[in-house]
Amino acid sequence: MDGTQAQVRLAPATKDDVGLVLWFIKQLAEYERAPDQVTATEELLRKNLFGPHPYAHVVLAYVTEDGVEQPAGFALYFYNFSTWVGRPGLYLEDLFVRSEFRSLGVGKRLLVHLAQTAKERECGRMEWVVLDWNEPSIQFYLSLGAQQLKEWIINRVSGSALEHLADL
């Protein structure tokens, strides 16, 4: 695909896009070598992204070339809060661009859009994680001014461990 002819359009996902959002999540899991870890369903996404109390937001990216528009990528984000900064933050949970649309500026457009959203919402920062083996993404993020916080370790409690902790 010739990047000089491609046009990128961003749009917020709606409940009608749930199937596409789930497809992107599965594509990302495949890329991250963890396709068996996806347990999300359209019903869960519809409830948690587009129900009465949405927990996250999704931006879809489309590429048009030669008059044909195709879904190219997505970003799923939510707001957190920094006690040290005293302001909300924007947390990017997932960013994925289909391989055939990489190097067309789709990922950059999504990140710039999220940075603009964070600025409009007066967020103190924008954060995300990247797998340590994903060198192309690491270099891409660094080129945009991201800083790696290697002194922080992610902690997670899920499944039976979450059930156990909740019952203590």
Q: Active-site residue numbers?
A: 141
Task: Let me know: does 82 contact 89? Beta carbons within 8 Å.
Answer: yes
How far is 137 from 146, CA to CA, in rounded Å? Answer: 11
Residue in the block written with tokens 């916080």: 149
Q: Name residues whose C-beta falls within 8 Å of residue 45's C-beta, 6 or more positions apart in sequence.
A: 18, 21, 22
How far is 33 from 58, CA to CA, in rounded Å? Answer: 22
Nearest to residue 68, comparing CAs of 13, 16, 122, 5?
5
How far is 164 from 166, CA to CA, in rounded Å? Answer: 5
- The distance from CA 61 to its chain's CA centroid, rounded to whole angstroms, is 11
